[in-house]
């Protein structure tokens, strides 16, 4: 049995084969045990210089359906008349080889691919990972925002129409409620990269204790984009240092379009010695060490989140989580039980949460243990199997 899977990612090609730089691919490849082969559909790029092959594809289990390269989904909208026909042609060429198709929503090609599946009577399902409309609101400005929001809403309506009578998986309770209004076969899922092996490894880690006179080590991981709210985190760091007199440092892991602006913002506030940008760190031992060697994990997102994978990773490695109460996050992070919730775009509340956790060891310990139990209840294997149970029930019936 073969699975075809489209996601709006870049598939890199070098002399050794294909690889991805999106950790979400680890969740997809967990389905290797359920399918004979998985075909990854996506835009292919050929790197001149790249530090490493983050997530290589296995040529024995994986195939690639190559699409023309485009820099981002926004450029796909702009060049749709040129690029989409090529994507449709390649998808149609491979469609007969697949027994099931996995598509993203809302996405312009996801709609076209679903229509092709309907024509061929090929079973397919959608995965909705985020509130794309709200994400676009924060990324775009002026006329571009108006046009982009209109396009996303249109594609979302088309996605919901073409998804009638098929499975839809949603990340986060908010998107589940939104899609369940019109569709009966909608199921919530958590995208977790915390494997059972990772949990065992986390249990063997001895977390270094912070001395009273050492800085509070803050950690934030994710894309460096406007909707991630990192300017509020940097502002909170500034207040903790200058107003509260706290010893504090911040490590930011990730890459994105906003990185030059954030670096400039840090420099203007005189925080170069307090903030470290590490770029992208591959999911694995190196990333786990960063969780282990920091005191608090901060996710200051403004919107657009289903449930970020990094929350469960931080919980698994027993680092207390401070996160904004947006979209799917409050349905998993429970205030003062397995994390701390704060309002979005509120640097003062963020700083107060840092101080509270730094000063209250009993609260820290309670949140840490609560977080670990939450991560253990949402492992990669468990969440993958929840999806497969519904897929077998509704799409792969004999």
For 56-77, write each residue's pLDDT tens digit.
Answer: 999 999 999 999 999 887 778 7
Is pLDDT of 51 > 60? Answer: no
In the prediction, which pLDDT does 138 show?
65
Q: 163 or 25, which is more confident?
A: 25
Q: How many helices (H) and strands (E) does the chain have?
A: 15, 15
Strands 37-45 and 62-67: parallel
In the prediction, which pLDDT does 277 show?
98
Q: What is the mean pLDDT of residues 257-284?
A: 95
* Cβ–Cβ < 8 Å for 1, 99: yes
Mean pLDDT of the chain: 91
Q: What is the mean pLDDT of residues 325-343?
A: 93
* Cβ–Cβ < 8 Å for 232, 300: yes
* Cβ–Cβ < 8 Å for 326, 345: no
**pTM, 2 dp:** 0.91
Is pLDDT of 95 > 80? Answer: yes
Q: State both tokens at 241.
A: 């240092």
Residue 227 makes CB contacts below 8 A (sequence gap 6+) with 134, 135, 138, 139, 301, 302, 303, 304
Is pLDDT of 210 > 80? Answer: no
In the prediction, which pLDDT does 19 show?
95
In the prediction, which pLDDT does 200 show?
93
* Cβ–Cβ < 8 Å for 157, 179: no
Is pLDDT of 374 > 80? Answer: yes
């Amino acid at each position: 049995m073969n699975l075809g899977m489209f996601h709006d990612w870049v598939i890199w090609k070098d002399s050794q084969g294909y690889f991805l730089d999106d950790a979400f691919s680890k969740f997809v490849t967990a389905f290797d045990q359920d399918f004979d082969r998985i075909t990854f559909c996506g835009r292919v790029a050929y790197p001149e210089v790249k530090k490493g092959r983050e997530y290589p594809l296995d040529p024995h289990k994986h195939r690639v359906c190559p699409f023309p390269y485009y820099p981002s989904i926004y450029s796909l909208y702009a060049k749709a008349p040129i690029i989409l026909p090529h994507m449709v042609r390649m998808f149609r060429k491979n469609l007969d080889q697949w027994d099931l198709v996995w598509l993203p929503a809302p996405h312009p090609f996801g709609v076209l691919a679903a229509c092709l599946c309907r024509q061929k009577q090929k079973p397919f399902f959608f995965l909705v990972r985020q509130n794309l409309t709200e994400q676009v609101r924060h990324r775009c400005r002026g006329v571009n925002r108006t046009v982009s929001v209109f396009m996303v809403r249109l594609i979302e309506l088309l996605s919901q129409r073409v998804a009638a009578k098929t499975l839809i998986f949603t990340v986060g309770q908010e998107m589940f409620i939104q899609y369940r209004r019109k569709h009966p076969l909608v199921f919530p899922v958590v995208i977790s990269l915390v494997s059972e092996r990772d949990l065992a490894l986390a249990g063997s880690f001895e977390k270094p204790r912070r001395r009273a006179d050492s800085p509070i080590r803050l950690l934030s991981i994710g894309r460096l984009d406007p909707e991630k709210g990192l300017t509020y985190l940097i502002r909170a760091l500034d207040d903790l240092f200058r107003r509260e007199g706290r010893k504090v440092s911040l490590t930011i892991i990730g890459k994105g379009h906003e990185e030059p602006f954030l670096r400039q913002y840090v420099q203007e506030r005189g925080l170069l010695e307090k903030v470290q940008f590490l770029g992208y760190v591959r999911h694995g031992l190196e990333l786990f060490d960063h969780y282990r060697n920091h005191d608090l994990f901060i996710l200051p997102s403004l919107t657009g989140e289903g449930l970020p994978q990094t929350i469960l990773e931080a919980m698994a490695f027993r680092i207390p989580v401070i996160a904004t109460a947006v979209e799917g996050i409050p349905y998993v992070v429970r205030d003062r039980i397995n994390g701390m919730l704060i309002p979005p775009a509120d640097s003062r509340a963020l700083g107060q949460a840092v101080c509270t956790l730094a000063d209250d060891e009993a609260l820290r310990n309670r949140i840490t243990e609560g977080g670990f139990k939450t991560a253990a209840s949402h492992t990669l294997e468990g969440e993958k199997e929840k999806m497969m149970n519904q897929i077998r029930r509704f799409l792969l019936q004999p």
